Structure 1
Amino acid sequence: MSSLTVLLHLPGAREGAVVPLEILVLDTGHIIHALARCGMVTQVDVKAASLYVQALLADGQVLTAFADAHDDTHVTLTPQSAASQGERLSMKESGATENESRSLAMHDEPYRGAWARLWKPAWGGGSRPEDAWKVAPFEPIGLDSQPKRLQWRMAEAGGCVLQVGGDAIVRRCVVLPPAADITVTLTRTIDDAQDFDAGYAVRAHTDDEHAEALLAYSTAGELTAAQIIAQHYQDLAEGMLYSKVSNPLGAIVGGYYLLRSRALERMHDWPRNLADLYPRLPDAAIIRIGQLLQSQTPDQSELRSRIHQAVHAGLPSYTDGLRWLYRATDLLLPLERNDEELQAIHRWLRPYADAADWDAILTCFRGNPAQPTVKPYTGLPQNGWAAEGIVPLSGSPQNQGQADHSAPVRKEERSIPLGKYGVLAARVVDRRREGTVDAPHYQIHLRDSQGTDYRAAINVLSYTPPSELLYIADDDFRHPLTALLPPPSSGWTSLPSQPGTASLDFIRGNLFDPAQMRILPPELPGSDNELVALLDHYVQHAIKNQAAVYLFGRRFGPAANEPDRVFGFMPGNGVHDIHMNQGNSGSFRNESGVYQDGGLLIHMPTESRWVAIFLAFLSQTWHTDDITGRSATGGEPVRIFAALVNAVGPASEAESITLFNASETPVDLTGWHLADQQSRLLRLPSEPLAAGATITVPATGAFELGNRGGAITLLDPSGVKVDGVSYTSHQAPTDGGIIAFTAPS
């Protein structure tokens, strides 16, 4: 490993201002992303290779330099090193060798057939028909086609949705920020081609230096560093929110930053004013929604009003906004069961949430605005280059090879194994409990015998409803799996997703009885009555006893030159997806697979026993295909998911049953019924149940859920049994808890 030192010198720029770096490894075509600061030295760990370095400035200017990192070296980027706009960079004139020129030229092909299209919302009053979006003409200003990326500027496009695609580029949409001038960059990335980006990334930058700096710190793995110097950045965010009248973009970014860093006292009442000032900006209302959700006593009436305001204004520009909005509707729905408009909003949001890239800065989703989809379509839309609003980005349409002019090019749908699946063997150094609104994880800091640091991120909440997780904790776990584990504290070990190895499979591995899994809310007052407290109990015990810990899941990192965002060690590195990873629904369906489930094992040497903790999402199914790991539920896809049998207090009407649509298509519940143990019927609402969605039906009329045990049967319009469950008096909680029926009967 070599070290590349970058000095960024911009006369007149504020020292320390953040500028994104892209470093192309000429030998492989991989791109390394980093952050540089004006007037300061930035070091990046790179493999020995010839490199092409560029800094992407807010005004669209690109500073470039070549470097040979076979030994430690440095480069200086100044305005004199800017690449020309609108023409391809000449490799020889820039000092590149003939081999380097050929290497860069190889990477022009991935942009074959690249195109873009701009969409504007066309609805009024909150209607959401499929034709509520219209194509808007636009011209990519200063289109700069270079071997490693396409870049152009856009004017007066803030709040619109930009759709891009290409022969190898999965069609996706980006909601543009509310700015007059935006620079868009389409790059080939080193990300796993099976991830959301499928090997490509779309970024949109504004010329607001402060806003871009805050976004870089809070969303590019630099939040920990920002908190170390929190006073400066929170001052900056507070000032940006204060200046909402003159700079709504800055106020929105500053507001999201304060929400993420939980600096609520610095927000004052300004989010309310921001939402009132800019009713046509969805993010303005959502900043207020986030503030309400983090308050001790949220105003339910205003929360509902702001949800309506945000949705009627369109889609939020920032992923944080989509997250807050979806979370708000998910939390409010059980309290507003008869609110048909709120239910309609939740159904409208659901496809965008399913198709979204939750790791992106700007709201990004696959498909088009009228039809978001989880499926990876490539190529041109129907009608090819003649489709309305299509703008070519790479050459002329006549020179695009065999592009399909009549139908979309579709990738074969297939399951995507986790990739980088394995087990981490280490000892716990520290742990951190995070909140459940925007950071739904329990974080563990671990270290192996070689001194390498890792972070384990364990989900305690799902963004895909139902939100709660199922868990089982076995204090005396006995299984032949333990004999197949690597040595204690040996670090990361990759595992094949196949039987006969240490790989976990909740369904085929006979690790535990799924019927014994329970639901725990992520956070509730009290002792050992919440998932976070349960995890903390065992992890604290592991710290005290120096126990050997094994975490199964997917590896992330190491991230060159980036600190871990939670614990701050270098480089960022760890394991996530520490839960069941098959039978997934919605946007995660294709990530299902067999023998790739996550889990936590702790060996207590002084007590000669193992502790095992296994987690699963309520939205996952337990009948999965033996090859793909996808849901293999036959017949009707609607299942009885959970029931609130013994409600707190005398109000029997608070009892309820939750149903789940495990399919990828809506199911019309008109004419459907539930039957109790005495065959008394409860009619279901006459409405469609969206794919992957749940509906909670209150027990009314003669229908009754017995506190001493009972049975629930789901009947289709013909009276045929679709699903059925039963429960005993021991399973019926006495404190208003929920019974989860984890497997269909």
Structure 2
Amino acid sequence: MPVEKYGVWKAHLVHYVVERRKDDLKSPHLSLYFHDHEFGTPKYDRTLLREDKNIQGLYRATINIKSGLGDPHDSRLVYWVNRNIDQNPLADELTELQHGFHAGVDQIANQYSLDYIRDSLFNTSDGRLLPHEVAGQFNNIIDVLEPSIQQAIDENADVYLFGSRGSSGRFMHKMHMNQGNVRKYRSDDGVSQDGGLIIHFQRTNSWIGFFIGFASQAVHTDDQTGHAITGVTWSDFLRPDIIEEAVVIQEAYVNPADTRPRSIMLSNKMNRALPLEHWTIRNKAGDIQILPDNASLRPRIDQLFDLPDCPLSDHGDTIILANEQGMRIDGVSYNSKQAATKGDSIVFAH
């Protein structure tokens, strides 16, 4: 079955503990201790860390910092950092949330949930495969997470913890990709139920998102079940000699000045022509535009495609490009501010 008690917890961090290799050889975690009071910090004593790793008066969330899943010979994680996550319409939704836990709703509404494949939360090719606890600065995931976590504590920033709420009600886990799993963990597969950590630093109104998966998880998954539909894993995809994003979404005309329909510009990065027959464009609401039978892109050419069947929202949206097999080729997102100016296109960085 999909991940139980999935949702997002809006909270404030007050303490964290990193498990090193000597603490847990098999599957070490980063434990985040938090409360969900909007004003004031509850009384607690972090020196009273119990054997069950809990601290009285605080909730706890765990983030994997070494894989305990998949291939026993590959303990690597893959992670993405998006310092412009506020350009995703998800940020506007999160800002409106009250502090506390909010259960994820159905995948049609796609609210209060993350989906690494379908929500354009990050540029997939920016992912990094890193082992746990390797000597040298920024050579493991701990180095990447710690500075922002400490800053969130210092500034009392709002944090959004996506994952599964434990049976005790005081614990969050599975804060990682939860689809495309190897056979042993296939029962956890689902769409719109991925984990992650998003931080909003109110003082500077800046946002950052951390998203974590396992090297053994599949890059392409079924839209209904979340099961792998190809054998391509993140360890395959992020090899430097493989380039999957041959076609990218270069621009979107969300608020055109004339009466022409909303459209997107696709860019062919290859030195050969690419047929686009039966490729699709999908928005966050699930509307689909099927490209014409004769659609193609000449080498190194940009071309506009109208979207009469796939309206793009003025309030922010995500745009997913998929090939004829339904595999994700590219994805972008924008917020309501970017869509506000009439006549201008939104240009996406790749």
Q: TM-score, normalised by structure 1?
A: 0.28
Which residue of 476, 479, 491 maps to 2:88? 479
Secondary structure of the residue aligned to 2:92 is helix
Residue matched to 1:548: 158
**Partner Cα separation in structure 2 for residue 555 and residue 638 of structure 1:** 30
Residue matched to 1:430: 15
Gaps of 5+ in 2: 43-56, 243-350
Residue matched to 2:187: 590
Residue matched to 1:462: 67
CA 1:537–1:638 in structure 2 vs 1: closer, same or farther (change >3 Å)? closer
Amino acid at match of 2:14: V
Deviation at 1:521, TM superposition (A): 1.8
Secondary structure of the residue aligned to 1:485 is helix
Which residue of 216, 225, 228 maps to 1:628? 225
Amino acid at match of 2:11: A
Deviation at 1:506, TM superposition (A): 0.7
Deviation at 1:525, TM superposition (A): 2.3
Secondary structure of the residue aligned to 2:167 is strand
Which residue of 536, 555, 561 maps to 2:146? 536
> Is the CA contact 2:81–2:208 (under 8 Å) kept in the aligned structure 1?
yes
> Is the CA contact 2:163–2:194 (under 8 Å) kept in the aligned structure 1?
yes
> Is the CA contact 2:8–2:161 (under 8 Å) kept in the aligned structure 1?
yes
> Is the CA contact 2:158–2:201 (under 8 Å) kept in the aligned structure 1?
yes
Deviation at 1:645, TM superposition (A): 8.5
Which residue of 601, 607, 629 maps to 2:204? 607
Deviation at 1:555, TM superposition (A): 0.4
Which residue of 410, 419, 422 maps to 2:4? 419
**Partner Cα separation in structure 2 for residue 471 and residue 639 of structure 1:** 13
Which residue of 501, 509, 512 maps to 2:122? 512
Secondary structure of the residue aligned to 2:32 is strand
| Greater RCO (Cα-Cα under 8 Å, separation 6 or more) | 2
> Is the CA contact 1:497–1:596 (under 8 Å) kept in the aligned structure 2?
no
Which residue of 441, 444, 455 maps to 2:32? 444
**Partner Cα separation in structure 1 for residue 203 and residue 118 of structure 2:** 31
**Partner Cα separation in structure 2 for residue 461 and residue 595 of structure 1:** 23
CA 1:645–1:470 in structure 2 vs 1: closer, same or farther (change >3 Å)? closer
1:663-702 map, 5 Å: none
**Partner Cα separation in structure 1 for residue 239 and residue 221 of structure 2:** 28
In the alignment, structure 1 residue 490 sits paired with structure 2 residue 99: yes
CA 1:481–1:499 in structure 2 vs 1: closer, same or farther (change >3 Å)? farther
The number of aligned residues is 217
CA 1:426–1:487 in structure 2 vs 1: closer, same or farther (change >3 Å)? farther
> Is the CA contact 1:425–1:486 (under 8 Å) kept in the aligned structure 2?
no
**Partner Cα separation in structure 1 for residue 162 and residue 102 of structure 2:** 10
Question: Any runs of at least 4 consecutive aligned residues in structure 1 with deviations exceeding 3 A, and if so which?
Answer: 486-489, 637-646
Amino acid at match of 1:458: I
CA 1:644–1:624 in structure 2 vs 1: closer, same or farther (change >3 Å)? closer
Deviation at 1:527, TM superposition (A): 2.4
Secondary structure of the residue aligned to 2:226 is coil
Deviation at 1:536, TM superposition (A): 0.9
Residue matched to 2:176: 579
Secondary structure of the residue aligned to 2:134 is coil
> Is the CA contact 1:468–1:522 (under 8 Å) kept in the aligned structure 2?
yes
Secondary structure of the residue aligned to 1:558 is coil
> Is the CA contact 1:553–1:576 (under 8 Å) kept in the aligned structure 2?
yes
CA 1:507–1:642 in structure 2 vs 1: closer, same or farther (change >3 Å)? closer
Residue matched to 1:523: 133
CA 1:619–1:644 in structure 2 vs 1: closer, same or farther (change >3 Å)? closer
Residue matched to 2:327: none
CA 1:487–1:428 in structure 2 vs 1: closer, same or farther (change >3 Å)? farther
> Is the CA contact 1:489–1:548 (under 8 Å) kept in the aligned structure 2?
no
**Partner Cα separation in structure 1 for residue 168 and residue 183 of structure 2:** 29
**Partner Cα separation in structure 2 for residue 598 and residue 469 of structure 1:** 14
> Is the CA contact 1:548–1:604 (under 8 Å) kept in the aligned structure 2?
yes
CA 1:453–1:538 in structure 2 vs 1: closer, same or farther (change >3 Å)? same
**Partner Cα separation in structure 2 for residue 516 and residue 645 of structure 1:** 11
Deviation at 1:638, TM superposition (A): 7.1
> Is the CA contact 1:488–1:549 (under 8 Å) kept in the aligned structure 2?
no
Deviation at 1:641, TM superposition (A): 3.7
The CA RMSD over aligned residues, in Å, is: 2.6
**Partner Cα separation in structure 1 for residue 95 and residue 10 of structure 2:** 7
Larger radius of gyration between Structure 1 and Structure 2: 1
> Is the CA contact 1:496–1:503 (under 8 Å) kept in the aligned structure 2?
yes
CA 1:640–1:454 in structure 2 vs 1: closer, same or farther (change >3 Å)? closer
Residue matched to 1:453: 58
Q: Which has the higher helix share?
A: 1
**Partner Cα separation in structure 2 for residue 487 and residue 447 of structure 1:** 18
Residue matched to 1:12: none
CA distances 1:414-458 after superposition (whole Å, capped 9, x unpaired): xx1101000011111100010241441111101110756211100
**Partner Cα separation in structure 1 for residue 81 and residue 148 of structure 2:** 10
Instruction: Using the aligned pairs only, state the percent identity.
Output: 37
CA distances 1:86-130 after superposition (whole Å, capped 9, x unpaired): xxxxxxxxxxxxxxxxxxxxxxxxxxxxxxxxxxxxxxxxxxxxx
CA 1:524–1:590 in structure 2 vs 1: closer, same or farther (change >3 Å)? same
Deviation at 1:581, TM superposition (A): 0.4
1:322-401 map, 5 Å: none
CA 1:645–1:448 in structure 2 vs 1: closer, same or farther (change >3 Å)? closer
> Is the CA contact 1:449–1:489 (under 8 Å) kept in the aligned structure 2?
no
Deviation at 1:640, TM superposition (A): 9.2
Amino acid at match of 1:527: Q
Residue matched to 1:503: 113
CA distances 1:381-432 after superposition (whole Å, capped 9, x unpaired): xxxxxxxxxxxxxxxxxxxxxxxxxxxxxxxxxxx11010000111111000
> Is the CA contact 1:547–1:605 (under 8 Å) kept in the aligned structure 2?
yes
Amino acid at match of 1:535: L
**Partner Cα separation in structure 2 for residue 506 and residue 643 of structure 1:** 14
Deviation at 1:491, TM superposition (A): 1.5
**Partner Cα separation in structure 1 for residue 167 and residue 150 of structure 2:** 26
**Partner Cα separation in structure 2 for residue 645 and residue 481 of structure 1:** 30
CA 1:621–1:638 in structure 2 vs 1: closer, same or farther (change >3 Å)? closer
**Partner Cα separation in structure 2 for residue 499 and residue 538 of structure 1:** 32
> Is the CA contact 1:421–1:553 (under 8 Å) kept in the aligned structure 2?
yes
**Partner Cα separation in structure 1 for residue 232 and residue 156 of structure 2:** 46
> Is the CA contact 1:427–1:489 (under 8 Å) kept in the aligned structure 2?
no
**Partner Cα separation in structure 2 for residue 588 and residue 537 of structure 1:** 32
Deviation at 1:604, TM superposition (A): 0.8
> Is the CA contact 1:444–1:456 (under 8 Å) kept in the aligned structure 2?
yes
**Partner Cα separation in structure 1 for residue 192 and residue 237 of structure 2:** 30
> Is the CA contact 1:470–1:618 (under 8 Å) kept in the aligned structure 2?
yes
**Partner Cα separation in structure 1 for residue 233 and residue 138 of structure 2:** 30
Secondary structure of the residue aligned to 1:456 is strand
**Partner Cα separation in structure 1 for residue 102 and residue 92 of structure 2:** 15
